[in-house]
Structure formats: structure tokens, C-alpha cells
Structure 1
Amino acid sequence: MKKRFGLLLAIIVALFMTVVPLSTQHAQAADNSLEKIQKKGVLVMGTSPDYPPYEFQATVNGKSTVVGMDVQIGKKVAKDLGVKLKIKSMSFDSLLVALQTGKIDMIISGMNPTPARRKNVAFTHVYYQGGYDIVINKADKAKYKNKDSFKGGTLGAQTGTTQYNAVKKQTKNTASKGMTSQSDLILALQSHKLDGVAMEKPSAEAYTSNNKNLAAIPSDFDMSSDATSSAIAFRKGSTSLVNKVNKTVDQIKKENLVKKQYLPAAGKYLKTNTVNTSMGHYWQAFATGVEYTLIITVCSVFFGFIIGILLALARTAKGNIFKTALRWVSTAYVEFIRGTPMMVQVMFVYFGLGLFVNLPALTSGIIAISLNSGAYVAEYIRGGINSVNIGQTEAARSLGMSNGATMRYVVLPQALKNIWPSLGNEFITLIKDSSIVSIIGVTELIYQSNIVRSDTYRGVAPIVVIMVLYFILTFTASRILNYFERKMQHD
């Protein structure tokens, strides 16, 4: 099954542990979950579209769309509730936190209702019962028969999944390798970094039926029913909503809609995906990725520069108690931001502030990267200010200029010229660091490349394309920055 909370999400949840329980208790005290959804008229479904045939991306009428068995179930649930379905894509690790912080209303993403997860969210009845296979290279089919055949080899699985735990606990003399996405695991298998990949039977069938070089063998893992079943997750305390949706789930099971309708429909999309797998066919996806990458970078550079100037001025402030306190606060901010990973900061802004303000993923990404960039820019500017000869300041003051005017017209222009290469390097870095926001579902280049990989089952080609695109972006930006640097030196 899919991933549980990752380590980063455990950190985020720990930061919110004093807030989330309060909202959960309130929901339990007054359950209006069903009424709230019906009044809103929209049901937001969170999913991670990298898990065919449960959920994956397919090109429908020239547009990349999330399809699959789980999407059909989500449409059925929304129809029975009398509301519209809205699908929000994000990494699987982000789904549970997104549900708890109100970013989404439900999770349908091949999620298994384990006891650990039941402590945090409410599950419906099981809508699908599956099992596990191991995907191998077809050339090795005579060599491997089940999990016990991999002694001395390496088995891979998605990090945090029940398959991954089974590989670690139920195999002997076998190395385990965890990765965050199925596409990465299949790529590692085909490049012989792995000897096999443990995954669910439907997913194994999807990959092997669309790649003649792969084959599936029985896993023979000893797994509980919870670990091989799928259910819909809602916020804890959503009793009325869960009870209503259970009626839909029961109908789906009674009429056997998953096997009769939903899986066959997903299979058709899987076949459609492999009709044209050329990278040129997906130019719109890559163009969208470039567009969002540039939007994030330009906005983050602009706001980061403003934040950096304010922090740098605060850090160089001297005088009364207020200025001293301002200097301490700015120093603490810079040290804290530089001492924590940007990925955690992005998740904190999106999910943490999401407890109070429902910010879109793109806005959250820009805010997080701007705040991060501001801390680094502040140090560049502070270094630039310190590099200006003190005589410049003394000369300006002797002419009657105020502190503010001296800083604005004399010191900062010279400092900017000194630190321009560092600022240019920060801009180039942000172009590449913008890829981090893909974890919250922003459709920049990395996100779009993952979509193409899921669509085409080609692992290397999309990576090559985005490498070239990133190089074009960074090379063009560096040439422009070098042009302005030469002009400033000439002036």
C-alpha cells in the first residue's frame, strides 16, 4: 500500500500537536461534516496520481487529467452527496496532514486503514481488497520465484509502505531499498540498481502490461487484511459524512463496480498513455512547468530581495534598546531560516498557516521560498554594506546627509555593485530550488516531469528533458546577469 507519515511530516505534525487536537475535539463535539460539505457544494479529494491503476495522469482531449479507479470512486461519492468533485494532487506523504489541516475533504489514494492511521483519521468501509507482487526484469524471470529468491540481492519498495516494511522484516540476507515514487523504483529496476520492486498486484499488472521488459512474480508476503485493503479517509469526528459515504462504498462492493467498471476503464487509459510516448507529445506539460518555475523564481527573488534589505538594515542597526532588540530578532530569524531545510519551511507555510488561512499551494510556495531567500540575501547585503569604505559614510555625513539618505544614496548603491555576483547566484539557485514546491502539488518542472513519467512509463527521457530545460533557464539567466554586471563595472 501507499506511504505512511514520512519523517518530515512527523516533524510538521509535532509542531501542530497543540492545535490539531483542539480542532479534532471540536469536530467530535459538534459533527456537522455532512451538512458542511453539502452546503459548500464541493468535495475536495486529495490523491497522489503516481499509482496506476488506482490514480495516475492521462492525456484526455489534449489535457493532462487525473484518472483511475480511485477517481471513479470519488466521482461516485460526490454524485451521491449531491456535490461537485474537485481533485487536488500532491505527494502521498502530504495527504494526511492536508486532511487534518482542511486543505482537502477526503483521501482516496489507495490508502490502507491500518490501526496507526485510524488513530488520526476516520476511515470508511473497505472498497477494495488487493495483494502484493514483485516486479522484476523479464530477463531474470527464471532466477526469481518469490521474496525468498532474492538472497544476496536488493528489493525495493515505496518508503513507509507496508511493502517496504515487509521487505525489511520478512526477507533474509536481502538488502532493502526505499524510494518515494513508483516511477523511480521502476527506473532503478530497469537500470539494474534493484533486483525487484514490491508493489500491489494491480500496480504490478499496470507496469508489466505496458512494458514488455518487465514481469511480475508472487511475493508470498505474510500480510494482514488491513495492509492489503483500501478505504476512504476523512477527518476524525466526521461521523455523519463517513456514514453517508459508507452507503456508497457498500453499493460499490455489492455491485462489484471496481472490477466490472472502474478497473477496465483505468486499463483503457493506461493503453492510451502508451500510444504516443514521445517527449514532443508532452510539450504543453513541460511548457506549463517552465511557466510555473519562472513565476515562483521571479516572485521569490523580488520579495526575497525586499525582505533581505530589511533584515540587513535591522542587523546593522545600532543605538537604543529598540534597535538592539530589532537586531537580535533579525539575527535569530536569519539563523533559524538558514538552519532548517527549505522543504520543511514549504510544508510549514502550506500546512501550518493552513490551520488559520487557506492559502493556495502556489502562493504558499512563493511565500516560503521568499522567506528563505530573504535570509540569505540579508547576509549578502550585510556583507556588501560592510565592504563599503567607512570614509564614504563619513563624507556623506559631513555634507549634512542623514543616516537614511547616506544609506540609500551612498552605501547601498556601492554595496549592490559589490554583491551583484552573489545575488545572481541566488537567482540561479532559486530556479533550481523551486522544484521543492512540487511536494505540495505546484505544477512546476519536477511535478510535470513526474506526470510525464507516469503517463509514458519512460523513466529517463523526461529527466533528460527537464535537465535541458533547467540548463536553458539557468544559462540564459546567467548571461543576462553577467550583462548587467559588466554595465555596473563600466559605470
Structure 2
Amino acid sequence: MIKGLKNIVVVALILALITITFTGCGKDSGNGKAGKTGTSLDKIKASGKIVLGTSPDYPPYEFHKEVNGKDTIVGFDIAIAEEIAKDLGVELEIKSMEFGGLLADLKTDKVDFVMAGMTPDAERVKEVDFSTIYYNAEHGLVVNKKDIDKYKEISDLKGKIIGVQKGAIQEDIAKEQIESPQIKALGKVSNLMLELKTGKVDAVVVEQPVASAYVKGNDELYMTDIVFKDEEGGSAVAVKKGNKELLESINKTIERLMKENKIEEFVINANEIMDNE
């Protein structure tokens, strides 16, 4: 009788262990498959919003503008981001930060995607995934207007103090295409332009649409005819590594906007907004 009771207890324990094992296997493994915690895209749709990380000191891509008495981040990157959110059926939330911190916040899930005139260069591709290129621009040079005659060719920049945005593609361009440059990298383009006006840098390398925007708003600055080569150029949307479904959705939106010629329209509108400031 006691032997039989012992056998019953052993069988019960085995059944309990089997139940626990299979229950554990049914929990989320973190791969985002249906029926579990869901993918990043599922979470975005469930929350009703998608969070954009950007550095709004880069007109006409993204910049501050007073709209109906309220400081608002606008620009053609923002217009594209709004279309991405619309196609997903969610609201767009914008988080402003310095350019150099954007990918760190993306990798730690503080933002869902990044748009900041960002080029998918070899180093960034190791860290995050990128959409198809949605806009191409050449890189130009801004100098103080009093120095117009000093800088006619790239060779004139030898050994000069060159301002670039920290972590941006222009930092590599300046190092590779200017002989012995003294690089001064700052987080914000607006601060670089201030450094240029006060003589703390000799020139600033920046994308031409951005250069044009700053020169329009400041009589002390001048955009030269110097153009820098950028074989890997172009702006793309960044998402966290492996976020395949969100990336596919973003690419569909970009493809639609390009077919409808909307991106060029957004660029024109952003420039008009700046002209009306």
C-alpha cells in the first residue's frame, strides 16, 4: 500500500514537471511572432503612435518654426515621417536630440525610427538597418562672406579649421578630401554657423540644401562653388537592427511618395517655409 502511494506521488511529480516545461515553452521567446508579445510594428499599432528621433537644426530637412504661436519642428523629413505614420494608421511623435545621440536612442528603443538627413555609410549600417535612399544632395562649403576670395578650390582649405556636424558624413568627407584639415565637430549645425561668424572656424562643410538655408537667413555667410564628392551619399530612414516589418512598411511609403513625386514637393514646401520666416 505504501509502495503504491509512493508510485502515485512520483507519477504526479513527473506530470507536474512536464506541465511546467510546456508552459514555459509557450511563453514569449522575444522573436516577435504572432500570438506572443508581437513585433515592434504590432506594438506601434497597438500604442497608436510612432516615435521619430531627429536633430532639428538641419533645414530644409528638419528645423524649428513657429506655427500658430507654437514652436514646431517642420521640414521635408518631417513631412515624409508624417506620411509613414499615416500609412501605419498611427500618430507621429517627434523627439528632438543632437545628431550624435540618435542611433544610440534608436538601439535602446527610445525612438522607433530616425530621420535626420542621415547617410547609410558603412559604419552606421553595422549598427542599424536603413530604408532605401529617399533623397540625394551634394555637399558644399559655407564661409564667412569676408573670405569669399580666399576659398575658390578645395586645395585652398589645406590646414584650415573645418567645421562639421559631429557624427555626420561630412566629417569623413572633410578628412578624406581636404589636405591636413583641423576638424572641429559640433553637435548642431546652428552652432557651427555661429563659430564661422565669430571666426572660430574657417569654413563649414554641409549638404548644399542646408548650406543654402543658412546662407539665406544670414548676410554674413556665403556658400561657395566648391562641391565635395560623395559616392555613398543620400539620405535614408534608420530603424533598429532586425526590425524587418517596420522597415518594409517604411520602404512602401517611400516608394509611393517617389512615384507620386511627393518628396520633391515636400522639399520645395520646406524651402518656402524658410523663405517666409
- Number of matched pairs: 246
Q: Compare the two structures and name the one with the higher helix fraction.
A: 1
The residue correspondences of 1:76-155 to structure 2 (distance < 5 A) are 76-155=83-162
For 2:32 and 2:99, how far apart are their aligned partners in 1?
A: 26
Q: Paired residue for 2:255, among 202, 227, 250?
A: 250
Matched, 1:165 2:169: no
Provide TM-score, normalisation by structure 1.
0.48
Equivalent pair of 2:142/2:221 in contact (CA under 8 Å): yes
Q: Paired residue for 2:217, among 207, 210, 216?
A: 210
For 1:94 and 1:179, how far apart are their aligned partners in 2?
A: 12
For 2:47 and 2:149, how far apart are their aligned partners in 1?
A: 56
Q: Paired residue for 1:234, among 239, 242, 254?
A: 239
Equivalent pair of 1:136/1:216 in contact (CA under 8 Å): yes
Larger RCO (CA under 8 A, 6+ residues apart): 2
Deviation of residue 160 (structure 1)? 2.5
Q: 1:112 to 1:28 in 2, by over 3 A?
A: farther
For 1:38 and 1:262, how far apart are their aligned partners in 2?
A: 26
Query: Which residues of structure 1 form unaligned runs of 5+?
Result: 1-24, 274-491
Deviation of residue 152 (structure 1)? 4.5
**Hey, what does 2:163 align to over in structure 1?**
156
For 1:184 and 1:157, how far apart are their aligned partners in 2?
A: 10
**Hey, what does 1:67 align to over in structure 2?**
74
Query: Which residues of structure 2 form unaligned runs of 5+?
Result: 1-28
Q: 1:103 to 1:27 in 2, by over 3 A?
A: farther
Equivalent pair of 2:138/2:229 in contact (CA under 8 Å): no
Amino acid aligned to 1:209: K
Equivalent pair of 2:138/2:228 in contact (CA under 8 Å): no
Listed one character per residue, the Cα deviations across residues 216-255 of structure 1 (whole Å, up to 9, x for unaligned) are: 1244433222xx2111111111111111111110112222
For 1:263 and 1:221, how far apart are their aligned partners in 2?
A: 21
Equivalent pair of 2:135/2:234 in contact (CA under 8 Å): yes
Q: 1:146 to 1:26 in 2, by over 3 A?
A: farther
For 2:170 and 2:66, how far apart are their aligned partners in 1?
A: 30
RMSD: 2.0
Deviation of residue 153 (structure 1)? 2.9
Amino acid aligned to 2:266: Y
Matched, 1:262 2:254: no
Amino acid aligned to 1:116: E
For 2:118 and 2:70, how far apart are their aligned partners in 1?
A: 27
Listed one character per residue, the Cα deviations across residues 448-489 of structure 1 (whole Å, up to 9, x for unaligned) are: xxxxxxxxxxxxxxxxxxxxxxxxxxxxxxxxxxxxxxxxxx
Listed one character per residue, the Cα deviations across residues 401-439 of structure 1 (whole Å, up to 9, x for unaligned) are: xxxxxxxxxxxxxxxxxxxxxxxxxxxxxxxxxxxxxxx
For 1:63 and 1:181, how far apart are their aligned partners in 2?
A: 22
Q: 1:143 to 1:249 in 2, by over 3 A?
A: same
DSSP-derived class of the 1:129 partner: coil
Matched, 1:188 2:192: no
Equivalent pair of 1:198/1:219 in contact (CA under 8 Å): no
Deviation of residue 36 (structure 1)? 2.2
Moved over 3 A (4+): 25-31
